[in-house]
Structure 1
Amino acid sequence: MNNKYYPNLASPITINGVTFKNRIFGAPMSNPELDPDCHMRKEDMAFHENRARGGLASVAIGLGIVDAVGRTHTKEVTLYDVMSLPSLKEMAKAMHRHNCNAVMELAHGGKYANARSHDGSAGQSAIGPNDEINPDGLTVRSMTEEDIYRVADCFASAAKLVKEAGFDMVLIHGGHGWLLGQFMSPSMNKRTDRWGGSLENRMRFPLLVIEKIREAVGCRFPIEYRMSGAEFTPGGYTIEEGVEMAKVLDGKVDIIHVSAGVHEDPEVFVITHPSMFIEHGCNVFLAAEVKKHVKTPVATLGGLNDPDMMEEIIASGKADIIEIARQSICDPYFPEKAFSGKKDDITRCCRCFTCFYNYLTNRTYSCAFNPVVGNELENKFGFPATSPKKVVVVGGGPGGMEAAITAANRGHAVTLYEKNSRLGGQLLSEEHIPFKADMFRFVKVLEKRLEKAGVTVKLNTELTAEQAAELGADVIMTAVGAKPIVPPIPGIDNHKVVTLEALHQTPPAIGQKVVILGGGLVGSECAIYLDGLGKEVTIVEMKDDWAADSYFMHKNAMKVYMKDSTIKIQVNTTAKAVTEEGLLCTAPEGEILFEADTILLAAGMKADRKTAESFYNAAPRVFEIGDCIRAGRVADAVSNGYYRAIDI
């Protein structure tokens, strides 16, 4: 491993006899889909192997469930089933092909389990520290002493199976409100016997599990323990008690993995899985505090996507190990690029929750910036063969740029035409928005890839269909994008009305009192940005809900931010006219005038079909890409551009 650029981050670390080639570990990521028996499919293995191929020191498979009663959904690897062994062996071998250590997370949902049982029935009651009803309305039975010892044995049996499969380490999930975390938490553990009450008693069950696992795997097999450094919930423990818990674990496990929060609390979800509205490395301080008090190596995480920041964390002694999850989806080759001096080619995760949304709703892997994610098996052996062609790409947004790069990398001669003076399309609106910095940085990465791929770029050139036809291209790819929807209301051409282009400068060309016409995702994010600048912001939305087009995890993150903001949201309200005073609207309570210095149009986009269709006969083959088909997300444009280029 080259340690010239990041000597601390690239340095190996040996954990209980197992050497990890660098300090970037792949944090646990579970599988959105499995086969009917909950064993890993070829597609799942290809996803995790691609992470291993990119240079991670280890890759952890998330949510290996140790007990049938501990299942939280129907697509978790069943470590209580010996028939999981063949697929686990194949997974471990795949990781080892890339000198990457294989890790399996051992988990039990406790009181959050069995809400969705394997056969679709109500299932038996969940078990946990106390008798209660869980958030899904399911009865939770307090664990007896017999239950506690049985589940501890389940953890041990699962660990033994994982070791037999050839994995190099197990990771015990004791954080985020899972079963062991439920026992550790003073807010969730209300027992009065020896398994609850004092810190010593609340730690008794986790220590029993560790002891049983150690007996099962032997002394020369690493055990990592994931804990929340603090819960950040009412009545939950703080970092001070988190440190005391870590001190109890010290010397009994081989890595103390410090995360944060309780997964089932919506307000804390955005800390456990940091949103774009929270600083990168938001949870590192927890690991840094724990590390002051223990001798066991400490791992940290928390929205980390910058190798410079990671290097500083290791160099300054805040932690010994960096763990990344979403960043390894966005750019699986992140470590290799960092360690080989190609930092500028790293695609940084923008924390948009595209991956989470697709995981939970479409049961697949996905990423806004990485079109290969979820299709690793199909892309495993590179591009299909083709003969070189002359390709013209019309439009320099993210979809057009990705199409040009992919086509050029396949050996085609590519020229990209962009009518504006800069590449980036709609992503240019993100340049000066702090929480969208990683999204705008994606434009700069694509620009460098265009240059490296040998694409000829012609800016300030609005190519017409007639001009394109004269170029004699074999293929024309139209990525002309979409246009803003302008409501046909009186006064819409007033000087007060601006489009998103007003945000293309800093400070933005926006007055103090701002009315945002359109409360979808774009309008809501603009409101957060302008509120951060001290503007008085009102969102006007004609639907009965705001940000209805956003992913629900991202909307939750916006809600958490807006709770402490001055942003006003007016739904079920229709714009009637723009006046010199502001925006006149019709609302359920009658006619309302929202005073404004500026009215920002965010009413949505519509595909530029007229321009796209004009190119239909300009070349033997004409492909359309992204928003000119239908206005959508950057993920759609990038994926569409990539796969259309493969179609050539």
Structure 2
Amino acid sequence: MKNKYYPHLASPITINGVTFKNRIFGAPMSNPELDVDCNMRQEDIAFHENRGRGGLASVAIGLGIVDAIGRSHTKEIKLYDVMSLPSLKEAANAMHRHNCKAVMELAHGGKFGNARAHSNADGTLIGPNDEVNAAGLPVRSMTEEDIYRVADCFAQGAKLVKEAGFDMVLIHGGHGWLLGQFSSPSMNRRTDQWGGSLENRMRFSLLVVEKVREAVGPNFPIEFRMSGAEYTKGGYPIEEGVEMAKMLDGKVDIIHVSAGVHEDLEVFTYTHPSMFIEHGYNVHLAAEIKKHVKTPVATLGGINDPDMMEEIIASGKADIVQVARQSLSDPYFPEKAFSGNAADIMRCCRCYTCFFNYLTNRTFCCAFNPVIGNELQHKQAFPAATPKKVIVVGGGPGGMMAAITAAERGHSVTLYEKNSELGGQLLSEQYIPFKQDMFHFVKVLKRRLEHAGVEVRLNTELNAKQAAAENADVVFTAIGANPIVPPIPGIDHKKVVGLEALHHATPALGQKVVILGGGLVGCESAIYLNRLGKNVTIVDMKADWAPDSYFMHKTAMAIAMRDSNIKIYVSTKAKAVTEKGLVCETADGEVTFEADSILLAAGMKADRAVADSFYNTAPRVFETGDCIKTGRVVDAVTTGYYRALDI
């Protein structure tokens, strides 16, 4: 019987004898941390299990490394070590508890490995050519003996994965990993049978597929991940990607079409699409390849809407949709979609919070989902020991999350918001096209407040005296922050406006806009206003623009601004506002930037005086959001959630 909400997306698909319960597969996500022996910890297994619990047909664990010399960092699962079996078996069992198929990615870093992680004596990496990689490490051209040895390593890794109880292996042949290094014309400069023509460049990948098939047998699914196009200078286009797929057709069971090369930071924002490009950016690659092969084709790349997923399957662009970041934002979105509760899905906003934390803090994290990275502690519910009366002062994301969490645990919660709408600073995102997923977060939180039974009182500014009179057991102060207003002459001029000017479908701004503040908010606002046809200039006293942004997001912003007329002036100090515009001091002297409107985006400052006034208004007083310290949505949401668990 077909699902009445998403009949194509919810339909099962059988791949080489293995039936997957629907068409939403969990794309590979690797582990930022493991134990000292590179085995998965209970925390890591709980993370992957949580992705599987919510309705994904499969979950792929990323970067199982098949050869010691192929490790790209120190924390990757060692598929060349039989001692990896126990934790792998436990991971597979965890998936199976939820009727979710377990998949392991087989990979080799090749020339992009990190010699410090290797056991090889001389510290030399291997790849298609003799060279020195971008990190300054020597790379040795692989001999034919090396090529066959590594192909056997893939096979032995696949055999280990099957023994562990996994349901499918995924061979990583894209993104500039070793097999992709051989298939890429920009990275493979060999002149023997392993380089030159596409047939020769694909020979290594096909050898690996052959060896893996021998190892796992005929009735075990093999998925092959490839870049449909590399998007890099000298890399192959989709036309060559089609030919590569035709060579794989019938030899593997799923052709998984991704894009790009990881080592190119700009291309990274297309492999993992940023918020500045359309959803489903890479789907066209899979759609083109599907026209030429009989093997089922999978697509992925920043897809977060089940309606779009349904259309992809229904229209025949692909047979399978794979997701990674969306399964962090809301691991339960498949179940919600298939049960008619799609309105409650928290959509990934492609902000790169997850990537930043993975690469720098070595943790799983999501701006919208405070449970991510802490799944082990949250496997059981947290009911309230004694229901209490709770007041939340402030309806931004931190206050809303605190109210929802407290109410869901059984407390009686009332939320007071001084404005006519909930959302706090996120209200600025309402009409910005590339921030719609961020604003959707607000809409989902509003819906959850209602379902949790939270009493919401808008247009009500509750002060400390009034809060104390409520005789609550707990008071949450989530009053937010105030914009920083530089103390310069003319700052109160009528042409100076705050971010509230963006709270309207048509911002009340003139044609020439000067943005005072070149941080993340100012730069995103500049991109938005420029796309509305405004002439935008950004000025900031710091030496760099958007220093508060994640480096991946900053790269995406740079791409979005590349072909615009946005002008950025750093090391530029505002001195005064005049009828003509903004007077600034630069290294070359005083300059006046002509402006019809000056948008104030100089940052926010916590309102400590008001926050401090709420001390002792209840037996327990918690703070959340920007009243503690101005920061990101992830900080407000996480703090609100965990403070509510402390009640």
Q: Tell me the TM-score normalised to structure 2 length.
A: 0.99
* 1: CA distance, partners of 2:24 / 2:274: 21
CA shift for structure 1 position 114: 2.0
Letter in 1 for 2:76: E
Counterpart residue number, 1:375: 374
SS in 2 for 1:26: strand
Contact 2:69/2:118 (8 A) holds in 1: no
Q: Which moved more, 1:246-255 or 1:463-472?
A: 463-472
Deviations 1:272-310 (CA, angstroms, capped at 9, x unpaired):
010000100000000000000000000000110000000
Structure 1 pair 40/212, CA: closer, same or farther in 2 (3 Å)? same
Percentage identity across aligned positions?
79
Q: Which moved more, 1:183-192 or 1:53-62?
A: 183-192
Counterpart residue number, 1:386: 385
CA shift for structure 1 position 634: 0.5
Deviations 1:16-37 (CA, angstroms, capped at 9, x unpaired):
0101000000000000000111
* 2: CA distance, partners of 1:355 / 1:89: 27
Counterpart residue number, 2:7: 7
* 1: CA distance, partners of 2:112 / 2:48: 26
Q: Unpaired segments of 5 or more residues in structure 1?
A: none
Counterpart residue number, 1:137: 136
1:92 pairs with 2:95: no
Deviations 1:389-414 (CA, angstroms, capped at 9, x unpaired):
01010000000000000000000010
Aligned residue pair count: 647
Letter in 2 for 1:76: E
Counterpart residue number, 2:180: 181
SS in 2 for 1:593: strand
Contact 2:70/2:110 (8 A) holds in 1: yes
SS in 1 for 2:256: strand
* 2: CA distance, partners of 1:606 / 1:40: 41
Letter in 2 for 1:21: K
* 2: CA distance, partners of 1:411 / 1:396: 20
CA shift for structure 1 position 521: 0.6
Contact 1:2/1:339 (8 A) holds in 2: no
Contact 1:117/1:123 (8 A) holds in 2: no
Deviations 1:12-61 (CA, angstroms, capped at 9, x unpaired):
00000101000000000000000111110000001000001010000000
Contact 1:517/1:541 (8 A) holds in 2: yes
Letter in 1 for 2:48: H
Counterpart residue number, 1:106: 106
Counterpart residue number, 1:32: 32
Q: Which moved more, 1:343-352 or 1:605-614?
A: 605-614
SS in 2 for 1:106: strand
Q: Which moved more, 1:556-565 or 1:368-377?
A: 556-565
Contact 2:115/2:123 (8 A) holds in 1: no
Counterpart residue number, 2:522: 523
Counterpart residue number, 2:48: 48
Contact 1:259/1:272 (8 A) holds in 2: yes
Q: Unpaired segments of 5 or more residues in structure 2?
A: none
Letter in 2 for 1:358: N
Equivalent residues in 2 for 1:438-453 (5 A)? 438-453=437-452
Q: Tell me the TM-score normalised to structure 1 length.
A: 0.99
Structure 1 pair 118/622, CA: closer, same or farther in 2 (3 Å)? farther
* 2: CA distance, partners of 1:217 / 1:46: 27
* 1: CA distance, partners of 2:126 / 2:433: 44
* 2: CA distance, partners of 1:561 / 1:233: 17
Deviations 1:320-346 (CA, angstroms, capped at 9, x unpaired):
000000000110001001001000000
Moved over 6 A (4+): none
Counterpart residue number, 1:233: 232
Letter in 1 for 2:499: L
* 1: CA distance, partners of 2:406 / 2:382: 10
* 2: CA distance, partners of 1:526 / 1:132: 43
Counterpart residue number, 1:285: 284
Structure 1 pair 123/73, CA: closer, same or farther in 2 (3 Å)? farther
CA shift for structure 1 position 2: 7.0
Counterpart residue number, 1:156: 155
SS in 2 for 1:64: strand
1:454 pairs with 2:453: yes
SS in 2 for 1:379: coil
Counterpart residue number, 1:556: 555
* 1: CA distance, partners of 2:535 / 2:629: 33
Counterpart residue number, 2:294: 295
Letter in 1 for 2:87: S
Counterpart residue number, 2:199: 200
SS in 2 for 1:376: coil
Counterpart residue number, 1:351: 350
Contact 2:226/2:257 (8 A) holds in 1: yes
Counterpart residue number, 1:599: 598
CA shift for structure 1 position 566: 1.2
CA shift for structure 1 position 111: 1.0
Counterpart residue number, 2:313: 314
Letter in 1 for 2:581: G
Letter in 2 for 1:558: M
CA shift for structure 1 position 199: 1.1
Equivalent residues in 2 for 1:494-573 (5 A)? 494-573=493-572
Equivalent residues in 2 for 1:350-499 (5 A)? 350-499=349-498
CA RMSD of aligned residues (A): 1.1
Letter in 2 for 1:627: D
CA shift for structure 1 position 509: 1.2
Letter in 2 for 1:40: M
